Amino acid sequence: MLRLALNHAKNRGFNIKTRRKLKDNHGLVGYLLPEGILMAREYIWDGIVSVHEKILKYAENNKTDILLYISRERKIFRLKPETIRWNALNVPENYRGGQLMVNFRLKSERNSFV
């Protein structure tokens, strides 16, 4: 799915040549691009999407956006880390593959997408 996200980002004019892989214990979770951190999810489930806590902290510390590609919508959402934290206030976290995931509400009409 990240390959689809890279192709979509390339078609939208993102600089994918200077990418760096971001991994966790189970493998590749995203790419660091000059425009932000590119991650991919298949779909939005009941208005909720999840991101790795580790990636979210990295984005907060480096003041970079998270570029979240949703495969079923064929869109990349540009999200500020603080927006993700705000939208995650009343949504419980969970563990996936031993990694802490932050779940948050994503509404297409309220977030910018490219």
Residue 7 has pLDDT above 80, yes or no: yes
Which domains does the chain carry?
Answer: 2-106 (3.40.1350)
Length of the chain: 114
Q: What is the pLDDT of residue 69?
A: 96
Output the pTM of the full model: 0.87
Nearest to 8 by CA among 73, 66, 86: 73
Q: Give tens-digit pLDDT for 65-98.
A: 999 999 999 999 999 999 999 989 888 898 988 8
pLDDT score recorded for residue 90: 86
- Per-residue pLDDT, 91: 87
Residue range 1-25: average pLDDT?
91
Average pLDDT over residues 37-55: 93
pLDDT of residue 22: 92
- State percent of the chain over pLDDT 70: 93
